[in-house]
Each structure stands twice: as structure tokens, then as C-alpha cells.
Chains A and B, each alone.
Chain A
Amino acid sequence: MVRPVSDHALLQGTLAGDHDAFAELVGRYRNQITSYIYRMTNDYDGAVDLAQETFLRVYRAAGRYQTTHAFSTYIYRIATNLAISELRKRKRRRLVSLTGLLTSGEGQEPRDFDAPDERPLQDISLVEAEKRAVIKRAIATLPDKYRAPLVLRDVEGKSYDEIALILQTSEGTVKSRINRARNFLRDKMRNYL
């Protein structure tokens, strides 16, 4: 039985100039990274571009990689930073933001204007499509610091300690943010729960 080559070994091979090793790494993570960034940004073309930028950074910084953490943690951290940076750019490009209008209280996170859909349900297929659209929209309207842990946990299935390593924060903070994000989504998708 052939034991699969570890990510560390593949990265070492990449560092030594083995292009096949890097291609294997890309093959292992391209769908995960693209999906994760897409859930964060809700823009497929931009997500593909950022996923490629993620692999580019891995390739360029292969020599600086430290094996103290898992490679998946490392690459997800790069992808998270790129996605959050992209979200901040979008916010700056926004001419008028409704964020400030829906601040419910001092010290609370501002919320974008996204009223719940009160229309009656239609055909099943349309309902399913609409449901997915609502979920995407609800995730997209989450504040950045809640969005990343929620996607990593409930969409990507990462453990709390790994999320804490990716986001470089404590495990307690991760749990708290995930709880808040779920409450936020519950309010958004009340008709589908």
C-alpha cells in the first residue's frame, strides 16, 4: 500500500524545484480554497482569482513555511487574509453604506440592510433555489469577523482549534463569534427554519 505524501513533503519538494510536487499540492487544495473564498466573498470569479493568489503566495514563500502547524492551517490563513482584504476593499468602494443605519445599539456590530423575505413560498425547486440564494446572501451580509469562523466551521467543517489557528485568535473567541453568527443567520432565515 502506497502511503500518500504529506503536505510538508510536497512543500519541501516545491522548495527544491519539483513542479510536480507543487501541482499535487494545488490539486489537493484548489477546490477547498476556491469554495472557502467564494463563501466569504460571494463572487466566483473573484474567488478563483484570490485562490490563485493564495497558491502564488504559497509558492513564493515556500522557504519561509514553518512546519509547526498543519499546511492546511497555513494555506487557509493566507486565503482568509486575502478574502478579508478583498471585503474591506469592497467596503471602501461602496458609495453609500446602510451599515450605520441599522446599528441597534452602542458597542454592537453594525448590520447591513437586508430585510427578510416575507413573500409566500412557491414551487419546491424554486424554493430550494431561493433558499440557497438566501443563505448566500445571509452569509455575505455577516460582519467579516463572524463570517470567517462560521464558514470555516459550518461549511468547511474545521475544528475549533484549527479555526483559532487560522484566524490567529483564541478558541473561546472563535466559539463566541460562531454563536453570534448563527444567531444572526437565524434572524435572517427565519422563514426557512
Chain B
Amino acid sequence: MMKWMECRATRREIDEGGEQLSAPALQHVASCAPCLAFQSERARLRELLTSLEPVTAPADFDFRLRARIAAQTEKPGLRSFFGGFALSTPPMAVAALVIVALGGSIVWIRQRGTKQAPPVAVNSPRQVKEGNSTATDKAAPPIAQTSAPEVTTATTDPTFRPDAPINVMQGRKPQFKDPGATRPATSSRDFNVSPVASIKQGQNPDAVYVSAPVKPMVLSLQDDNGATRRISLPPVSFGSQRLLVGSRVVPVSSTNDRVW
């Protein structure tokens, strides 16, 4: 029993201390064959382990390491901002939902705005000049397509009515507003939804109503002194605001204050 305890203590010392053994351990090893074998076995094993060829880092180790460090420090802001956040699934799902909701609300708002002011008639989404303003009609799809060569645009004037007679007032110009000056050219109003007020023949004694000529027409006017003026009227299309604003439709005045 005593010898077994000595063997155990000696072997522990051999295992931990290597070749530097205490005097009692050396004395025991000299007298105990199994412990001597154990010592030589451990020494041989240690020798085998230390006989492994040295391993060195490759020559480009520093270069590759610098490249990796540079690659990681290129986007410090992004990394620090997202950190572990970007890789986790729930925040990614929340972010995706927010983006989808945002996009959906934008589309809904746009569609809502389009429903409020649909165009009356549009030939094509090409650019249409109105007065000094230029607008491109892209957002609103055309409701009615016409094959006429003239450009037909939607009007922005709520008082404008295509089939209404021209209001010819003494000393006054036609009551057509410049749409480009008041609101964006792309906005339009559907008069089928909200009818406009119109002045009919006979309601205003100072006004003379003339139907819009489809063909060139000559209008004769006679003043109180019997003098006669003849005015040539070109065809007028109420489908084009440009034609109206472009002074092709002129007021017919009984005061002869304009040279024809």
C-alpha cells in the first residue's frame, strides 16, 4: 500500500515536472521498475511531441491581415449602426413591413389624388404647353382617346364648359383664366361631376351670344349710327385650352375698340 502511494506521487511528479524530480522521487524511480518505465515512456512521448516540425505563418500573412483590417474598417458607420441588428430576423421583418406600408400609403395617396381630378380628354401623355407653363401629363391615364389631330387637353377652369356659348361682353375680355397661372397644368376637373354655371341667351341684355363656328364665319355688326363692321371668325375648338388662350378666339365687341 505504501509502495503504491509512493508510485502514484512519483508518477504525478514525473508527469508535472518532467525531468526535474525531487530527491525522494529519484530514489523511488531508481528502485521501482514500473515507475522507471513510466518515466522513460513520458520522456519519449515528450520527445515525439517536440519533434514535430515547426509551423510558421505564410510570407503574406501581414499583407492579408492588413487587407482584412482595411476591408473591415471601410464601412465602420454601417457596421456600427446595424451591428448585430441587421442579421437578426425580427427587426428585418419589421423593417420590411414598414417599407411595404410606406410604399402602399404613397401609392394610395397618389391614386386618391388622381380620382379627385381625372382628366377629361387626353390624346397622349406628351408635353402640352399652356401659356408660359409646360406640363407633362403622365400620372393620369387618358379617359377618352380622340383621333383628331389637334391637341386636346383638360381644362382647369371650373367655369369652363366646352359646349357653352362664348360670352361676348362690351369692353370686356372673355372670362377664361390662364390655367398655367393659377394651378398646375396637370390638374383637371370633370364637369360631368360638378356642372358649371352658364349664361344663356337673353339673360344679359348687354351681351350678344354667338355660337362657336365650326367653319370660318363672317359676322356683321351694326352700331347705332348705322355703320357696319364685318368680322371674320375662325373655327373655334373648345377642346383646346391652348387655342383659347392663344388669342385665336377673340372677343366680339360692339365698341369697335379693336382693329380686325
Contact = CB atoms under 8 A, between A and B. Distances in A.
Given A34-B56, A179-B15, A135 B61 contact: no
A3 B57 CA distance: 26
B163 interface: no
A30 interface: yes
Which of the four size classes fits the interface of chain B?
20 to 34
A185 B42 CA distance: 10
A88 to B, nearest CB: 20
Given A30-B61, A56-B68, A185 B56 contact: no
Main SS at interface, chain B: helix
Interface in B9-67: 12, 15-16, 41-42, 44-46, 48-58, 61-62, 64-65
B16 A182 contact: no
Nearest to A185: B45
Given A34-B57, A175-B16, A155 B65 contact: no
Nearest to A45: B58
Interface in A24-65: 26-27, 30-31, 33-35, 38-39, 44, 47-48, 51-52, 55-56, 59-60
Contacts of B61: 26, 30, 34, 48, 51-52
A193 interface: yes
Given A56-B65, A178-B15, A193 B55 contact: no
Interface in A126-185: 131-132, 135-136, 150, 154-155, 160, 175, 178-179, 182, 185
A55 B65 CA distance: 8
A186 interface: yes
B39 to A, nearest CB: 12
A186 B57 contact: no
Contact of A44 (B45, B52, B55): B55
Interface of A: 23, 26-27, 30-31, 33-35, 38-39, 44, 47-48, 51-52, 55-56, 59-60, 131-132, 135-136, 150, 154-155, 160, 175, 178-179, 182, 185-186, 189, 192-193
Interface of B: 12, 15-16, 41-42, 44-46, 48-58, 61-62, 64-65, 68-69, 72
